[in-house]
A and B are shown apart, each in its own frame.
Chain A
Amino acid sequence: MARRRATTQPDPLRLIDVGGGDSVGVGEPADGQIAVGEPFDAFYRREFPRLVVLAHGLAGQALAFDLAQEAMIVAFRRWDEVQNFDSASGWVRGVCAHTAVSAVRRRLAEARAIARLRARPAFHQAEGDADEEFWREVRRLPRRQAQVVGLHYALDMSVADVAAALGCAEGSVKAQLFKARRTLAARLAPDDEEWQ
């Protein structure tokens, strides 16, 4: 019966300071690196708020906490492997970005099917502020473009870090950002010539 190798790290379940109320703000330094052997709870406390931000941008506030939690559960299950990655933070952000975009895409696909059948807009366009409008348009972008925009703008990650998180080349990230900006500019400010 095949089993993954036993972890040499302490069981993360025994490392939790459940009484610790030290909240971690997303404005704290984010180097995307962790020390080898970092306990999972420290990783969680640092990274979870950032995943909530990312999921909020890519999938909306209602799903943000659940999607962030799902990404963290995936990381927990594979912590003995993930903690040795060059960037565990980048990896879990990539998982979160994939999951969030997929959650939205499935609903959009259903909505498009209905819109086609009923000849009406797929979604109600709720009124909202300019920033929320921006993120609504990001959710309509193709999968990869949405992921890149979410990581780059919601988490303020560099192009290199986005490329590492998504496992692609920096040139690919730049190209996706270019296309995304062009599309977003056309939708949000069609008269604006300065999108580039």
Chain B
Amino acid sequence: MTIDQRARTAGATLRSAHVDEPGVSESYQRLLVTIHRRARMRVIAAGVVLAAAAGGIGTALSRVDDVAARPAREPPAASARVEGTCEQPFFHCGGGSRITMSLPVPATWIVKPPFSRDLHFVTEAGRGQLVLAESHRKDTAQPAGVTVAEGVRATKADHLADVDPTAPTHARALAEWVSRRPFLRSGSVQRTPLGRLPAWTVQVQLRAPGRLGVADCNQLTIRCMPVLMMPDAASTVLGAWGSMIARYTFVDVPGAGPTVVWSWTFGHSDHALERNQSLIDSLRFAAG
């Protein structure tokens, strides 16, 4: 059997497995529920933005609106067209290496080499809403990159990737909470505004990389110590493992929920984190 024949057989098997798929109507109803819920959430978020931006209401709202209203598949500037990210409906590529991410509160950053413009991303399960995007560095032997995530929650400290309902949700308190994780060696929490938004940063690494917990991060065959998670996005976990060194910058983004800019690298050296900073410094949220 040639590979083409094998591929056709595998395709036919897959299609036959889903013939007369039950539940299309049910799926449709779930979609409607999701869309209605999302519409309500947008109203709430807009209200939060209004309240937070008192004095600058017009600016804050129009900036959010401008990004949200832009057709996601509007042809990007020719010079900025990159296969992959720019073709996704969740991103808009502008000139000057600028990429706007359609997060709940949209954010824009300038992604230049050595950062890859082929972004990784996560959407909320079943809702088609981008909630996490990250760029990996292309110039390092060890993996390194920056992740932006909105709607993160702190996890329990018992190695299980479950949300800790008692943990804080505001930027400064979250940074201090991370700095107190017993399994992390932490620096001091520092105030590092991101644009005009208040933000706090803490740098951490595992105290004992060889003694990891029982949790698998993101269903991989690895052990990690969960720090943050996104319960509505297939329980995506932002955790610590191996020789990872990470800086968590928590930002109070009006309307976005707990937001983190996660700078990470492996190899026990934080030099890469310094180089990650240029990408973080370029980041701007529509609400800020």
Contact = CB atoms under 8 A, between A and B. Distances in A.
Interface size class of B (residues with CB under 8 A): 35 or more
Main secondary structure of the interface of A (DSSP, over half): helix
B2 A195 contact: yes
A110 B128 contact: no
A95 interface: yes
A143 B84 contact: yes
A98 B87 contact: yes
Given A1-B65, A73-B127, A123-B221, A130 B6 contact: yes
Contacts of A71: 128
A70 B31 CA distance: 9
A57 interface: yes
A91 to B, nearest CB: 9
A13 B30 CA distance: 12
B128 A77 contact: yes
A141 to B, nearest CB: 12
Interface string B1-45: 011101111111111111111111101111110111000000000
B7 A181 contact: yes
A156 B221 contact: no
Contact of A107 (B35, B72, B219): B219
A114 B220 contact: yes
Contacts of A70: 123, 125-128
B187 interface: no
Contacts of A26: 15, 18-19, 21
A20 B25 contact: yes
Nearest to A62: B219
A13 B36 CA distance: 9
B274 interface: no
Interface in A4-51: 4, 13, 16, 18-21, 23-27, 41, 44-45, 48-49
B200 interface: no
A29 B115 CA distance: 44
Nearest to A63: B234
A106 B122 contact: yes
Contacts of B143: 109, 112-113, 116
A131 B2 contact: no
Given A102-B121, A106-B120, A118-B242, A135 B21 contact: no
B240 to A, nearest CB: 12
B97 interface: no
Interface in B129-184: 129, 134, 136, 142-143
B266 A117 contact: yes
Contact of B3 (A56, A118, A184): A184
B285 interface: no
A52 B18 contact: yes
A16 B32 contact: yes
Contacts of B18: 26, 49, 52-53, 56
A131 B11 CA distance: 8
Interface residues of A, number: 82
A58 B38 CA distance: 27
A95 B121 CA distance: 13
B143 to A, nearest CB: 4
Contacts of B88: 95, 98-99, 102
B71 interface: yes
A1 B7 contact: no
Nearest to B7: A153
Name the residue in B7, B23, B28 with the highest tally of chain A Cβ atoms < 10 Å from its Cβ: B7
Given A23-B22, A49-B21, A167-B87, A111 B11 contact: no
B3 A131 contact: no
B25 A4 contact: no
B19 A25 contact: yes
A49 B11 CA distance: 14
B67 to A, nearest CB: 10
B71 A81 contact: yes
A153 B142 CA distance: 36
Nearest to A112: B143
A1 to B, nearest CB: 5
A154 B4 contact: no
12 contacts: A4-B69, A21-B25, A26-B15, A26-B19, A81-B71, A102-B88, A107-B220, A114-B241, A134-B10, A143-B84, A144-B83, A189-B6
